[in-house]
């Protein structure tokens, strides 16, 4: 395909500059986003099994509710019922709660013993999953303006640049696309290989990336977009105000749990309840959020679809799995969410999103490396700005990964040491991240790239080793888990340990044996072993 | 292909084109979405349509922004996008009040 040279150059500039500005925060957003595909599993993996109380048959839920609400005042206002048998049947927050990190949230778990006695346990929540989710949404940038996270807004702006980078990248690739699409030239030097893989990954996952860019812009700026729409709508309200019920109900009037199952069966096709989240039970605005799952459907998010209704009257406020044929817009909007969260296609879909998220992170990383290569000088000493960008890229990307892996590794040991783990998670992540960044700037990108990758490999290896230790030395009081999802997390960490080890070796090779006029080169340091002169 | 002279080529004008794409692109997408909101399938009162409308603003906006750099000069970007705005809003207001 022929495109005018001036158009190509215009879009090449756009691609370069939007990419280099937004790449680093998007890198964190992407790899952390990959991990959030398994947020529930990671949280479960990081929590000792003893924290979860044993499940009970659904028929006994009514009895559990009566007993818990009559004993605990907090439970009268709201609680969660988990149909998932791995989790405690009933929980309610003693303190804190809600999305975003709450370092000192405590949660009550409740179940019934075999002879029908109420059993409860108060424990702090494990916020490891929330930490990863926070990194995914804000790239770890703290602070708020009004009720918006600054990090979310920054990622929103980055997503606008990312959209520009995607389209402009495709435009200036078009002339050579057909010829070199699947070309992965290894014989034309390291840089050609990086460029080919950057382009290949970018083109094959383009639809995914366009969707992510679009949805991130919407997630970050939906309040602003609604603000504009309210002018267009004029006197029409955008949303119907939530109905205030005329009477104040009490939890004693709560209908039996079987009636919710009946409601869900009537409202949807083939869905099963995963959890019931009651709130405001003793107020004029009572609400139950019913999480429902049907792996065959395109569900709103990774926790499934959701129905909001009044728990006493069953009047539905919102149903994302509506089977109503006249409701044209709900399925479309739900599919937008679903395309971001990868909540279609079951477990295979989740793994695909996991891989595509990591490939996305690879695109940003390789893009930065290509930028550095382009500005390379044919001399051993590279320009100051180039060295700065190289250190920043290595420090932020590898430092952030090292931070998350170290935090995951720390979780079991923190329980063992009886430390306040949620605070320690935050301290651990940011300490590791900033130390790595500092290391990258003081010791140079070439050296930091090797050492940080080796450290990530080591930390990844230590994760399954910790679990193995728990199996071999039960006296250590580390927990021994037999859950299959826990095993998969350990295995995945082991595989990534190998990947980072291999890639550290490659980087090392390049530093010592690659082109000497490069930012990645290291002066020859190895000491030659010479034969002792004969005396 | 004949070589283009310097004046025939696309001029960079980064700030003008970016501002035109960001501001006039956004107002233009509101005009299009507004027309769709009132007169598209289901009308203004269709359930959940407001969410759909909100979702569709950004893809239109970003697409306009991305292709704003194809205008030869920044001034042309403003003139063309400005005219598109005037036409789109004229249609919207005509439909709304006549």
Residues A43-80 have pLDDT tens digits of 889 888 888 888 888 888 889 998 898 888 888 888 99
**Pairwise CB contact (< 8 Å): A329 & B49:** yes
Mutate to test the interface with A, among B62, B65, B92 (most CBs of A within 10 A): B62
**For residue B5, what pLDDT is reported?**
76
Comparing CB atoms, the residue among A164, A238, A329 nearest residue B46 is A329
Residue A534 pLDDT > 60: no
Cβ distance A72 to A92 under 8 Å? yes
Q: Residue A509, Cβ neighbours under 10 Å: how many? A: 11
Distance in angstroms (rounded) separating the CA atoms of residues A39 and A328: 31
d(CA A98, CA A84) in angstroms, rounded, equals 19
Per-domain residue ranges for chain B?
Answer: 22-97
Residues 6+ apart with CB under 8 A from A115: none
Strand, helix or coil at B73?
A: coil
Strand partners, A306: A291
> Rounded to two decimals, what is the model's pTM?
0.90
Which pairs from B8-12 meet CB under 8 Å and 24+ separation?
B8/B72, B9/A6, B9/B72, B10/A6, B10/A7, B10/A10, B10/B69, B10/B70, B10/B71, B10/B72, B11/B72, B11/B73, B11/B74, B12/A10, B12/A13
DSSP lists the bridge partners of residue A107 as A93, A123
Residue A56 three-state SS: coil
Asked if A233 and B44 come within 8 Å (Cβ–Cβ), the reply is yes
Q: Is residue A489 predicted with pLDDT exceeding 70? A: yes
Q: How many whole angstroms separate alpha carbon A367 and alpha carbon A373?
A: 10
Q: Is the per-residue pLDDT at A453 higher than 90? A: yes
Q: Looking at this predicted complex, what is its ipTM? A: 0.93
Of the candidates A38, A227, A20, A32, the one whose C-alpha atom is nearest the C-alpha of residue A141 is A32
Burial of A26 (0-12, 13-18, 19+ CB in 10 A): buried
From B25's Cα to the closest Cα of chain A, the distance in A is 13
Instruction: List, in order, residues 6 or more apart from B91 with CB less than 8 Å away.
Output: B31, B35
A13 touches chain B (CB under 8 A): yes
Chain A residues touching B44 at Cβ < 8 A:
233, 236
Q: Percentage of chain A surpassing pLDDT 70?
A: 94
Subunit contact A6:B9, Cβ cutoff 8 A = yes
Q: What is the pLDDT of residue A351?
A: 94
CB A187 within 8 A of CB A58: no
Is the Cβ pair A228, B30 closer than 8 Å?
yes
Of B34, B49, B51, the CB nearest to A232: B34
For residue A387, which of A442, A343, A466 has the smallest C-alpha distance? Answer: A442
What's phi and psi for A288, nearest 5 deg?
-125, 130
Indicate the range of A103-117, A179-193, A274-288, A503-517 predicted with least confidence. Answer: A179-193
- Helical ranges in A268-383 per DSSP H: 329-341, 346-374
Neighboring chain A residues of B53 at a CB cutoff of 8 Å: 229
The more confident residue out of B6 and B50 is: B50
Q: What angle do CA A145, A149, A152 make, to 5 degrees?
A: 130
pLDDT band for position A528 (cuts 50, 70, 90): very low
- Half-sphere exposure of A371 toward its Cβ, with a 13 Å CA cutoff? 26
pLDDT in tens, A138-169: 999 988 887 888 999 999 999 999 999 999 99
Least confident of A178-187, A266-275, A490-499: A178-187
Q: Does B49 touch chain A (CB under 8 A)?
A: yes
Nearest CA distance, A468 vs chain B (angstrom)? 47
**Cβ of B66 and A236 within 8 Å?**
no
- 3-class DSSP state of A361: helix
d(CA A230, CA A234): 6
CB contact under 8 A, B44 and A236: yes
pLDDT digits (tens, 9 = 90+) for A417-434: 888 888 999 999 999 999
- DSSP code at position A252: G
Whole-number Cα distances in Å, A502 to A186, A365, A406, A454, A506: 17, 17, 19, 9, 6
Q: Which residues of B touch A330 (CB under 8 A)?
A: 47-48
Q: A288: left (phi > 0), else alpha (psi -120 to 50), else beta?
A: beta
pLDDT of amino acid B94: 94
Using a CB–CB cutoff of 8 Å, tell me whether A164 touches chain B.
yes
Cβ-defined contact of A333 to B69 (cutoff 8 Å): no
Pair A298, B16: CB distance under 8 Å: no
Beta carbons of A214 and B58 less than 8 Å apart:
yes
A150 interfaces chain B, CB cutoff of 8 Å: no
Looking at residue A186, what is its pLDDT? 66
**pLDDT for the residue B39:** 92
Cα–Cα distances in angstroms (integers) from residue A34 to residues A24, A219, A352, in the given order: 16, 17, 9
Alpha-carbon gap: A329 to the closest alpha carbon of chain B (Å)? 6
CA–CA distance, A395 with A413 (Å, rounded to integer): 26
Residues 6+ apart with CB under 8 A from A262: none
Tens digit of each residue's pLDDT (9 = 90 or more) over B43-95 = 888 888 999 999 999 999 999 999 999 999 999 999 999 999 999 999 999 99
Burial class (CB in 10 A: 0-12, 13-18, 19+), A92: buried
Do B66 and A163 count as a contact with CB atoms less than 8 A apart? yes
| The predicted structure's pLDDT at residue A209 | 95
pLDDT for residue A319? 86
Contact B35, B94 (CB under 8 A): no
Q: Do A336 and B37 touch (CB under 8 A)?
A: no
Size of interface A-B (CB pairs under 8 A): 84
Task: Name the closest residue on chain A to residue B59, using Cα atoms.
Answer: A214
Which residues of chain B neighbour A2 with C-beta distances below 8 Å?
A: 1
Q: How many CA atoms lie within 13 A of A44 on its CB side?
A: 22
Say whether pLDDT at A300 is over 90: no
Q: Which of A316-330, A337-351, B62-76 has the lowest mean pLDDT?
A: A316-330
CA distance A295 to A346: 5
Whether the CB of A211 is below 8 Å from some CB of chain B: the reply is no
Phi, psi angle pair for A342, to nearest 5°: 65, 35
DSSP character string of A407-460: HHHHHHHHHHTT--HHHHHHHHHHHHHHHHHHHHHHH-HHHHHHHHHHHHHHHH
CB contact under 8 A, A164 and B54: no
The Cα A18–Cα A364 span in angstroms is 11
| Chain A nearest C-alpha distance from B92 (Å) | 10
């Amino acid at each position: 395909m022929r495109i005018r040279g001036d158009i190509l150059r215009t879009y090449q500039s756009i691609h370069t500059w939007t990419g280099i500005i937004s790449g680093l925060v998007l890198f964190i957003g992407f790899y952390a986003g990959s991990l959030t595909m398994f947020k529930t599993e990671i949280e479960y993996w990081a929590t000792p099994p003893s924290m979860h109380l044993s499940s009970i048959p659904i028929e006994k839920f009514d009895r559990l509710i009566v007993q818990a609400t009559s004993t605990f005042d907090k439970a009268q206002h709201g609680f969660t019922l988990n149909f998932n048998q791995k989790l405690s049947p009933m929980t309610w927050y003693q303190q804190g709660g809600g999305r975003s990190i709450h370092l000192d949230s405590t949660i009550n778990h409740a179940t019934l013993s075999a002879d029908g006695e109420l059993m409860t346990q108060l424990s702090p929540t494990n916020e490891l999953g929330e930490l990863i989710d926070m990194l995914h949404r804000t790239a770890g940038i703290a602070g708020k303006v009004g009720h918006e996270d600054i990090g979310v807004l920054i990622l929103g702006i980055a997503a606008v640049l990312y959209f520009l980078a995607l389209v402009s990248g495709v435009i200036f690739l078009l002339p050579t696309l057909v010829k070199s699409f699947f070309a992965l030239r290894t014989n034309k030097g390291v840089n050609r290989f990086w460029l080919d893989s950057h382009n290949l990954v970018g083109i094959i996952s383009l639809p995914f990336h366009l969707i992510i860019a679009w949805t991130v812009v919407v997630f970050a700026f939906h309040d602003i977009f609604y603000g504009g729409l309210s002018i267009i709508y004029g006197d029409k309200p955008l949303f119907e105000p939530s109905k205030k019920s005329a009477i104040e109900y009490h939890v004693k009037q709560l209908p039996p749990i079987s009636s919710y199952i009946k409601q869900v069966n009537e409202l949807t096709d083939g869905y099963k309840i995963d959890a019931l989240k009651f709130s405001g039970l003793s107020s004029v605005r009572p609400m139950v959020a019913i999480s429902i799952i049907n792996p065959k459907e395109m569900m709103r998010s990774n926790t499934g679809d959701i129905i909001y209704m009044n728990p006493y009257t069953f009047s539905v406020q919102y149903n994302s799995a509506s089977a109503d044929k006249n409701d044209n817009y709900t399925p479309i909007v739900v599919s937008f969410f679903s395309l971001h969260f990868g909540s279609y296609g079951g477990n295979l879909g989740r793994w695909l999103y996991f891989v595509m998220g990591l490939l996305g992170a690879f695109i940003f990383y390789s893009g930065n490396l290509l930028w550095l290569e382009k500005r390379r000088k044919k001399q051993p000493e590279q320009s100051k700005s180039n060295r700065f960008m190289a250190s920043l890229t290595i420090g932020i990307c590898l430092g952030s990964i090292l931070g998350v892996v170290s935090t995951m590794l720390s979780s079991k040991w923190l329980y063992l040491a009886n430390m306040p783990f949620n605070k320690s998670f935050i301290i651990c992540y940011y300490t590791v991240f900033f130390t790595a960044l500092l290391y990258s700037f003081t010791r140079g990108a070439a050296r930091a790239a090797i050492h940080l990758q080796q450290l990530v490999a080591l930390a990844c290896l230590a994760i399954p080793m910790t679990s193995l230790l728990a199996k071999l030395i039960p006296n250590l009081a580390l927990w021994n888990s037999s859950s299959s999802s826990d095993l998969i997390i350990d295995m995945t960490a082991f595989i990534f340990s190998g990947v980072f080890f291999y890639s550290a070796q490659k980087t090392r090779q390049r530093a010592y044996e690659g082109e000497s006029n490069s930012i990645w080169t290291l002066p020859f340091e190895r000491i030659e072993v010479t034969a002792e002169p004969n005396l | 292909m004949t070589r283009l002279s310097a004046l025939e080529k696309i001029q960079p004008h980064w700030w003008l084109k970016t501002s035109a794409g960001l501001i006039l692109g956004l107002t233009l997408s509101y005009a299009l979405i507004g027309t769709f909101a009132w007169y598209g399938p289901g009308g203004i009162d269709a359930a959940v349509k407001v969410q759909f409308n909100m979702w569709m603003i950004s893809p239109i906006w970003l697409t306009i922004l991305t292709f704003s750099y194809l205008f030869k000069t920044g001034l042309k970007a403003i003139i063309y996008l400005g005219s598109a705005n005037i036409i789109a809003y004229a249609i919207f207001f005509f439909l709304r009040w006549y």
